[in-house]
Amino acid sequence: MNVNRKMIAGLTVAVGALSLSPVSVSAEETPETNLLQVNTEPILSIPEEFPKQFVYDSGVEIAYPEDGVKGIYVTGNSAGGGRMEQLVELTNNTDLNAMVIDVKDDFGDLTMELQSENEVVQKYTKNYVEPEEMMATLEENQIYPIARVVVFKDSRLAQERPELSFTHDDGSVWANGRGENFVNPFSKEVWEYNVDIAKQAAKMGFKEIQFDYVRFPEGFEHHSKTLNYTRGDYETGDLDDVQQRVQAVTDFVAYARQELQPYGVDVSVDIFGYSATLPEAPGIGQNFSKISENVDVISSMIYPSHWGNGYFDIPKPDLEPYRLVDEYMKVENEVLANLENPPTSRPWLQDFTASYLGAGNYMVYDAAAVEAQIKALNDNGVNEFLLWDAANTYTTGVDYTPND
């Protein structure tokens, strides 16, 4: 007998959440007096542990890499253009085995058709990628697909729905120094908007959802008192401004992971590397430990070029890729060791040259520089990584398993 798996899942969730228990009655009472007590919990709530037999099946069969994920970042333009063939060839000819592909990018544009009914999603869908064709290529080559969803940096949603963003007294939407708009992490509607996008990506066949920009804007502590925005459920209570932001960001991650359980995907979050070196990053609301407790994978962005001179007592971090990654991993390993159920660590590494740092502060990131970062991870017990290059022009001739 053929049974619709999604229908079963829906019925199971509904029935499981509606618990009916008979009131205790004596033998003398007639059946007419027997009553049922109905649990008032939401009928469609998702259980903490979702039964595996009812997980959504996208039909795309791509296994988690046995030797761990070793991936590259891929823009929507690359995924849907001629460069994709070169990137597939790169993974097939090396130990690389995964791609982090933009589904919702840094502007809030959607790079492919998601079958969403949301009007904002539809308006800003660019169709750079033909989803079925892309997923068939990834499946044929067994390249592990990770959907990158940029969450709270979203100029499109902010401009369309200013009430979901941060505004000045004249009603205009606040922008950072680069002209970028953010939406409000306190808003549950913003949470739902992004998680719905993630669900569509999971249905498409992505095996992991990677949330990026899971934070308030940088330096938000300097703007929090002058901008207009709702704090929603966080308006009341004993938490100060910093802890309100931390709680909102952490709660979003927990919510997203629970909502995505029925789709059988892992959930990962990109996070500033320095967040692991501080109790918390107060302005942006990132607490490394709290976020890590609610994800399957934590991906710290530890590009040597992104650390200030002198961090970890390294005069110029970009010039010492091995030492920078080694020093960072000592800190992260200590933090994760204190968690009951630590996530997989899969840091972002640098495969670009940071010439913007100025003469004497940077070096060309060649194969040796990339290998140095990977070796530092391996020496600290981490064998998964992601490589970032915004242009997707990755260094050739790299040994991605330098300790073997």
Q: Where are the extended beta strands (E) located within 294-379? A: 297-301, 344-345, 348-350
108 plus 45 within the same structural domain = no
Q: 335 near 288, Cβ under 8 Å?
A: yes
Could you tell me if residue 109 is inside a domain?
Answer: yes
208, pLDDT greater than 50: yes
**CB 5: neighbour CB atoms within 10 A?**
13
**Token pair recorded at residue 377:** 């991870």
Q: What is the DSSP letter of 24?
A: P
* CB neighbour class for 129 (10 Å; exposed up to 12, middle 13-18, buried from 19): buried
- Looking at residue 52, what is its pLDDT? 60
- Select from 214, 183, 366, 227 the least CA-distant residue to 288: 214
70, pLDDT greater than 80: yes
Could you tell me if residue 62 is inside a domain?
Answer: no
Of 298 and 14, more confident: 298
| Residues in the chain, total | 404
Could you tell me if residue 403 is inside a domain?
Answer: no
| b/e code 179-218 from CB counts within 10 Å (16+ = b) | ebbbbbbbbeebbebbbbbbbbbbbbbbbbbbbbbbbbbe
299, pLDDT greater than 80: yes
**CB 39: neighbour CB atoms within 10 A?**
11
15 plus 78 within the same structural domain = no
pLDDT in tens, 86-130: 999 999 999 999 999 999 999 999 999 999 999 999 999 999 999
Domain hosting residue 27, numbered range: 1-54
Lowest mean pLDDT, pick from 36-40, 66-70, 374-378: 36-40
271 plus 300 within the same structural domain = yes
**CB 333: neighbour CB atoms within 10 A?**
15
21 plus 120 within the same structural domain = no
Could you tell me if residue 199 is inside a domain?
Answer: yes
**Token pair recorded at residue 332:** 């992260």
| Bridge partner residues of 20 (DSSP) | 38
**pTM attached to this predicted model:** 0.87
214, pLDDT greater than 70: yes
32, pLDDT greater than 80: no
**CB 64: neighbour CB atoms within 10 A?**
12
318 plus 176 within the same structural domain = yes
pLDDT in tens, 47-56: 555 566 678 9
Helix (H) / strand (E) containing 394:
none
Q: How are the residues of the chain apportioned to helix, strand and coil, as percentages rounded to the nearest 5?
A: 40, 15, 45
- Looking at residue 34, what is its pLDDT? 39
Please compute the mean of the pLDDT values over residues 71-86 and round it to a whole number: 97
Question: Could you write out the DSSP letters of every residue in 100-115?
Answer: EEEEE-TTS-EEE---
Q: What is the overall mean pLDDT for the chain?
A: 89
Residues with Cβ < 8 Å from 358, sequence gap 6 or more? none
Report how many domains make up the chain: 2
Residues with Cβ < 8 Å from 53, sequence gap 6 or more? none
Could you tell me if residue 24 is inside a domain?
Answer: yes
- Looking at residue 234, what is its pLDDT? 94
- Select from 134, 129, 84, 85 the least CA-distant residue to 110: 129
235 plus 99 within the same structural domain = yes
49 plus 152 within the same structural domain = no
* Tokens 């990137």 found at: 87
Residues with Cβ < 8 Å from 383, sequence gap 6 or more? 67, 68, 377
**How large a percentage of the chain has pLDDT more than 70?**
87
154 plus 271 within the same structural domain = yes
The CATH number of the domain holding residue 293 is 3.20.20.80
CA 304/CA 210 separation, integer angstroms: 22
Could you tell me if residue 137 is inside a domain?
Answer: yes
96 plus 150 within the same structural domain = yes
Q: 193 near 199, Cβ under 8 Å?
A: no
| Single-letter code of the amino acid located at 67 | D
CA 88/CA 91 separation, integer angstroms: 5
163 plus 206 within the same structural domain = yes
Could you tell me if residue 400 is inside a domain?
Answer: no
244 plus 378 within the same structural domain = yes
CA 106/CA 181 separation, integer angstroms: 10
Could you tell me if residue 401 is inside a domain?
Answer: no
pLDDT band of residue 23 (cuts 50, 70, 90) is very low
- Select from 350, 161, 162 the least CA-distant residue to 273: 350
80 plus 188 within the same structural domain = yes
End-to-end CA distance of the chain: 50
